[in-house]
Amino acid sequence: MRYRFDHFTLDIDRGILLEGGRDAPIEPRAFKLLALLVTHHDRIVTKDEIVENVWDGRIVSDAAIATVIKTTRKVLSDDGVGQKYLRTIRGRGVRFVGTLMPSLAAEARKPETDQAQPAPVQTASRPTIAILPFQMVGYSETFSAIADAIPAELISCLSRLRWLAVVSRGSTFRFRETEPDLATIHAALGAKYCLTGLVEIFGSVIAVSVELSDTRSQDVVWSERFSGTISDINETRNDIVTHVISALELHVPLNEAKRARLRPPENLDAWSIYHLGLQHMYRFNKTDNLIAASHFEKATILDPEFARAHAARSFTSFQSAFLKYSTDAAEEASNTRRFAEKAVELDPIDPFANFTLGRAHWLISDPEAGMPWIDRAIELSPNFAQGFYAHGWGDVMAGRGVEALQQLQTAISLSPLDPFLYAMQSACGLAYLQMEDYENAVLWAEKGARAPGSHFLIGAIAAMICKISGDEEKARRWAKTTKDRRPDASVEMFFAAFPFENQEIRALIGSALISIGFQAR
């Protein structure tokens, strides 16, 4: 999408401003503001809209808004007196008053539909989703509202996630066709993704099918079918909302990464590079972790205020320190904390940022001090599976087996295909061990050790639990597998990664590891 006025060309798709055919240096926030004002040149843009689009809804001062307006004017050689391009209307907002070239102004108009008026163009490159009212098969006077209630609740919950832009209900609920046209959704609402649903009621049974589509390719990204009874309709509704949000956390980044791989590297923006990094981050090996860290660093250079990219840098530094990829674990531990703090500073309500700051305390052998940040991640997003996972690990290391199991089972239920599934399962084994349920302890420890992505420390947990449960053969086999993968694995390394606070459990684990061939140091 391009807009031309005087000797300037604003290219929103490429994220650049040209002056006389040459790149005009412009800060990210100034670009967002200019794009917002130009795309809505026919009206006044309110202060609230500026905050929502430029700062992603974070609370900012009037002085900060005034500063970004001043910065934008400076790029355009405008000022607060002349107001040639940006005019401030006291008490109401700001309006773009430059003259757009007719041909490009026409090009910029979105096609109208009978059901919806054009929604604001999404100036950020983050994924955008439109959640449409669900369709009802047949008619139920008593329960027909469920077709609107589920998507409305999804919009409300997803709006709290800063990595995903959600089109408002006022725009999406105008689309009530039986078969919505994805190309029209993309053009009219600017949404990259569309979630649709079908509600069916058969006697006492209610079934809901949901489908997530990419409006650009019109491919189905993910689909699922849920069912329950009419008598438990509220529980069924909550279950659907919970699982849909968890699925989006997994499938949207995977799809964004797939699309990014098809684009030339020089054309990738911060969000695309970030999603490419995610593909490597969850492979849990040294090479991929280095590649992921490099992608995230590039993303923060392109957009220094990209909170999730800073959180992801914390994640890769944590992995490097945790799995001893680096010879300077202290530096990586410091980076883990530093990047996480930066992410929380930029976006204090991002659950992933709070999660990374909470885990950073593991590396200084004080996981309990990080629990408030983990709790906050869950409070911010009650469907954030990795928050429950981290809470479960914190409980395990503190010796709270029963509480840990509850947290870990919630995490697995929320995200059964999570990249951390192996660690969730392994931690369940430790929780059962503390509860002296040795049969389940072995079952879950081996599940974790066999799962994709599991690292050598997970194998050490399986070996240790098998030893304590009395299965010497399995213990020796898992110990050998672990030592083959990491010859320098030791008890000291184990407790550096998992700083168990309960001394009785710590002594039991240490003794078991030594008895099956692990060196103390």
Instruction: Report how far residue 491's alpha carbon sits from residue 202's, in angstroms, rounded to the nearest whole number.
Output: 58
pLDDT higher than 90, residue 105: no
Mean pLDDT of 238-266: 82
Q: What is the pLDDT of residue 164?
A: 82
Backbone angles phi, psi at 202, to 5 degrees: -125, 100
pLDDT higher than 90, residue 397: yes
Sorted by where each starts, the structural domains of the chain and their CATH numbers stand as 2-107 (1.10.10.10), 112-256 (3.40.50.10610), 263-362 (1.25.40.10), 383-521 (1.25.40.10)
Instruction: Report how far residue 499's alpha carbon sits from residue 399's, in angstroms, rounded to the nearest whole number.
Output: 11
Backbone angles phi, psi at 12, to 5 degrees: -70, -40
Q: What is the pLDDT of residue 284?
A: 86
pLDDT higher than 60, residue 118: no
- What confidence tens digit (pLDDT) does each residue in 152-204 have? 888 888 877 777 888 888 788 888 766 778 888 888 888 899 999 998 888 78
Q: What is the pLDDT of residue 102?
A: 55
Instruction: Report how far residue 74's alpha carbon sits from residue 516's, in angstroms, rounded to the nearest whole number.
Output: 69
Instruction: Report how far residue 280's alpha carbon sits from residue 453's, in angstroms, rounded to the nearest whole number.
Output: 11
In percent, how much of the chain has pLDDT > 90?
A: 44
**Whether the predicted model's global pTM rises above the 0.85 cut:** no
pLDDT higher than 90, residue 127: no
| Distances 115 to 130, 144, 174, 175, 177 between C-alpha atoms, Å | 14, 21, 5, 6, 9
Q: What is the pLDDT of residue 84?
A: 87
Q: What is the pLDDT of residue 380?
A: 86
Mean pLDDT of 332-356: 93
Angle of CA points 173, 257, 241, to nearest 5°: 35
Q: What is the pLDDT of residue 172?
A: 86
Q: Three-class SS of residue 96?
A: strand
Written as six digits, the tokens of 65 are 């808004």
Q: Could you tell me whether strands 93-96 and 135-137 are parallel, antiparallel, or unpaired per DSSP bridges?
A: unpaired
> Per DSSP, what are the bridge partners of residue 165?
128
Which pLDDT band, with edges at 50, 70 and 90, does 482 fall under? very high
Instruction: Report how far residue 180's alpha carbon sits from residue 298's, in angstroms, rounded to the nearest whole number.
Output: 38
pLDDT higher than 80, residue 262: no
Largest separation between any pair of C-alpha atoms in the chain? 83
Which pLDDT band, with edges at 50, 70 and 90, does 477 fall under? very high
Instruction: Report how far residue 73's alpha carbon sits from residue 82's, in angstroms, rounded to the nearest whole number.
Output: 10
| Closest to 269 in 3D by CA, of 91, 79, 12 | 12
Mean pLDDT of 238-248: 86
Q: What is the pLDDT of residue 465?
A: 97
Answer whether 410's CB lies under 8 Å from 389's CB: no
Instruction: Report how far residue 443's alpha carbon sits from residue 454's, in angstroms, rounded to the nearest whole number.
Output: 15
pLDDT higher than 60, residue 122: no
Q: What is the pLDDT of residue 353?
A: 94
Written as one letter, the residue type at 483 is K
- What confidence tens digit (pLDDT) does each residue in 277-307 have? 988 998 888 999 999 999 999 999 988 988 9
Q: What is the pLDDT of residue 111?
A: 42
Answer whether 116's CB lies under 8 Å from 189's CB: yes
Mean pLDDT of 397-416: 92
| Closest to 6 in 3D by CA, of 108, 45, 18, 36 | 18
Q: Kindly give, in sequence order, each residue whose CB lies less than 8 Å from that of residue 78, ignoring residues fewer than 6 positions away.
A: 84, 85, 86
| Closest to 388 in 3D by CA, of 349, 360, 428 | 428
The average confidence (pLDDT) of the chain is 86
Q: What is the pLDDT of residue 103?
A: 41
Q: What is the pLDDT of residue 408?
A: 96
pLDDT higher than 80, residue 372: yes
| Closest to 124 in 3D by CA, of 192, 23, 46 | 192
- What confidence tens digit (pLDDT) does each residue in 55-80 have? 876 777 788 888 899 999 998 988 87
pLDDT higher for 154 or 355? Answer: 355
Q: Could you tell me whether strands 22-23 and 16-19 are parallel, antiparallel, or unpaired per DSSP bridges?
A: antiparallel
Q: What is the pLDDT of residue 59?
A: 72
Written as six digits, the tokens of 495 are 């407790």
Instruction: Report how far residue 332's alpha carbon sits from residue 337's, in angstroms, rounded to the nearest whole number.
Output: 9
Q: What is the pLDDT of residue 292?
A: 94
User: DSSP character for 109?
Assistant: P
Give the number of other Cβ atoms within 10 Å of residue 466's Cβ. Answer: 27
